[in-house]
Amino acid sequence: MRTLALDVGTKTIGVAISDPLGMFAQPVETIRRVGRKKDVERLASHVREREVGCVVVGLPLKTDGSEGPSADEARRMVTALEEALDGVNVLLQDERFTTQQAERALIGGGVRRKKRKGVIDQVAAVLILQAYLDSRG
């Protein structure tokens, strides 16, 4: 079964998926947010189409480990996904610094600013997913 990862922001959601063996993460898309219900419907279609067994949602903690409004939104997304995806495990994964790491990687790769804006959330989702996959051993 594949694993899907999400980098949930206020305007967009970065989506990444694992290979069938659960070893490597790859980007899927950046979803422009239109409302939690519609967003969850779109994510649920990814889960069904790609036979996903687990969804990992990035938990944006502050540098001191505390939670703020972004973490609250991530938790609300987890609850909505759990309700919509009967039988699919939905987990949280610490995502501190993933957006900054994604930005540095894209800059290092010579990706122009305009292009970075469209893919940075996908790259952050890849980093979240790869951290989760690596943590499982």
**Residue of 36, 43, 46 whose CA lies nearest to 72:** 36
Which CATH superfamily includes the segment(s) 2-135? YqgF/RNase H-like domain (3.30.420.140)
What pTM value is reported for the model? 0.89
Question: What average pLDDT is seen over the chain?
Answer: 90
Q: What is the pLDDT of residues 46-94, one digit of tens each?
A: 999 999 999 999 999 888 888 888 899 999 999 999 999 988 999 999 8
Residue 25 has a CB neighbour count (10 Å cut-off) of 25
Tokens 């939104």 correspond to 73
